[in-house]
Amino acid sequence: MDLNYPPEAEAFRKEIRSWLEENLPQGWFEPGFRQSDDERKEFNRTWIEKLFAGGWICAGWPVEYGGKGLSILQQVVLNEEFAKAGAPMRADFFGDTLVGPTILQWGTEEQKQEFIPGILQGKIAWCQGFSEPNSGSDLASLKTSAVLDGDEWVINGQKVWTTQAQYADYVFLMCRTDPNAPQHAGISYLLVPMHQEGVEVRPITQVDGSAEFNEVFFTNARCPKGNVVGGVNNGWKVAMTTLGFERGSSSTTGYRRFLKEWEAIVEETKRVKRNDDLRVRDNLVKSWQKVKIMEINGYRTLTDSLNNTHDAALLGACNKMFWSEMHRATMDLAIDILGMEGQILTGKGNEVSTTPGMGRGRADYPVSELQAFFFFSRSETIWGGTAEIQRNIIGERALGLPKEPKAQTV
């Protein structure tokens, strides 16, 4: 799709392209590049330093907090050029895209000064402490409690599915701070240090051998009184901001990884000689159409953002539901095309994704890249709000349907 961006946006595009040409190591995503753990760590370390020096991490943030204050259009151009080059542009997903923007929107000046520089430099690793064993979709029923004791909050309870908790320095945690208030009105959003005696992280090993998720137990864990974001008992609103960031996506670039993946599936189709199968061809076209719809919707979202006419929560819900279901169906197709080969483990184990912008890094289980994406696509309709919950949001906010009935607790 050819779009006419204004000349100043194109000038900015040139600036980014030449920065990438100068700084991105040649062939960084070729097979064999940064295969070992040490190579990967070294690449990540030096790349984050370069990104930070260039000012490209969270470049849309205000200048006074270390960003470049880029306009929406400039951010889109930046995303597009990084996506085309297959260059990563984040220091830490949870920091850059979730808790960082939340602190900027809701945090006190002290919180911004304390946490934003560390987020920008990738020096604080974060995890998200929302879900509990009995509170996932129904998040407002959460039970983990925080009680003030002098100048500190004392936290007790359990979180689950906490991605990367084993590496995190801090958790952004939803806790009940007023057990007597109505559910949504008694929750606060705390920033809690992970490296302390009262926090225990237990990995959950998955079917593919990896252990990305954890259970996290809080037993009289503590954090300073001032680490509550957005005010005591106002955590529901603050958390909805974070979830809005999680469900939203980089509007005009999100489709690219799916296109890349679709092209890889077409290559596999040729390799296994199924490209003459009419059913396969038909399904490949249908799947390509969905990627195209994503691309076009991306531009619609951008137009809405530029005109300030969008409902971020609604667009986030539509996008999340569409791409996660589309991706599951595409991965089903990929495994179907591979036939018997798709059923056996054809990877070497410990492999690193070589497709820019895609994948989970490494899998301990010897799955091929497509098999790994197939497995992971099962989870995409769940995290960040399930597809059913997105449908509820769309039903209520876009279609004006009545709110779903809630069971009364007696």
Ligand X SMILES: Cc1cc2nc3c(=O)[nH]c(=O)nc-3n(C[C@H](O)[C@H](O)[C@H](O)COP(=O)(O)OP(=O)(O)OC[C@H]3O[C@@H](n4cnc5c(N)ncnc54)[C@H](O)[C@@H]3O)c2cc1C
- Which of the residues are catalytic? 246
Candidate list 71, 105, 355, 386; residue touching ligand X; CB under 6 A: 386
Nearest to 129 by CA among 199, 183, 207, 205: 199
Candidate list 105, 121, 145, 392; residue touching ligand X; CB under 6 A: 392
Would you tell me the crossing angle of helices 254-271 and 369-380 to the nearest 10 degrees? 140
How far is Cα 289 from Cα 299, in angstroms, rounded to an integer?
16
Provide the minimum distance between the beta carbon of 159 and ligand X in the complex, in angstroms, as a whole number.
6
Please state the length of the chain.
410
Candidate list 145, 346, 355, 379; residue touching ligand X; CB under 6 A: 379
DSSP state of 408: P
Provide the minimum distance between the beta carbon of 254 and ligand X in the complex, in angstroms, as a whole number.
18
Nearest to 128 by CA among 152, 156, 92: 92
- Segment near ligand X (CB under 6 A); pick from 60-68, 125-133, 318-326, 393-401: 125-133
Residue 111 carries which side chain, given as an amino acid letter? Answer: Q
289 lines the binding site for ligand X (CB under 6 A): no
Candidate list 23, 71, 105, 163; residue touching ligand X; CB under 6 A: 163
How far is Cα 133 from Cα 263, in angstroms, rounded to an integer?
39
Residue 82 or 375 having the CB closest to ligand X:
375
Provide the minimum distance between the beta carbon of 139 and ligand X in the complex, in angstroms, as a whole number.
7
Are the CB atoms for 204 and 211 separated by under 8 Å?
A: yes
Cβ atoms within 10 Å, residue 327:
23
Candidate list 115, 130, 245, 373; residue touching ligand X; CB under 6 A: 130
Residue 16 or 229 having the CB closest to ligand X:
229
205 lines the binding site for ligand X (CB under 6 A): no
323 lines the binding site for ligand X (CB under 6 A): no
Residue 68 or 327 having the CB closest to ligand X:
327
Candidate list 122, 136, 248, 298; residue touching ligand X; CB under 6 A: 136
How far is Cα 1 from Cα 215, in angstroms, rounded to an integer?
45
- Segment near ligand X (CB under 6 A); pick from 83-91, 99-107, 361-369, 388-396: 388-396
Residue 178 carries which side chain, given as an amino acid letter? Answer: D
Backbone torsions φ then ψ of 18, nearest 5 degrees = -70, -30
Cβ atoms within 10 Å, residue 21:
10
97 lines the binding site for ligand X (CB under 6 A): no
Cβ atoms within 10 Å, residue 377:
21
Site string for ligand X, 184-203 (x = CB under 6 A): --------------------
270: tokens are 């040729």
- Segment near ligand X (CB under 6 A); pick from 50-58, 81-89, 157-165, 306-314: 157-165
Q: Which residues sit at the interface with ligand X, rule CB under 6 A?
A: 127-131, 136-137, 161-163, 379, 382-383, 386, 388-389, 392, 404
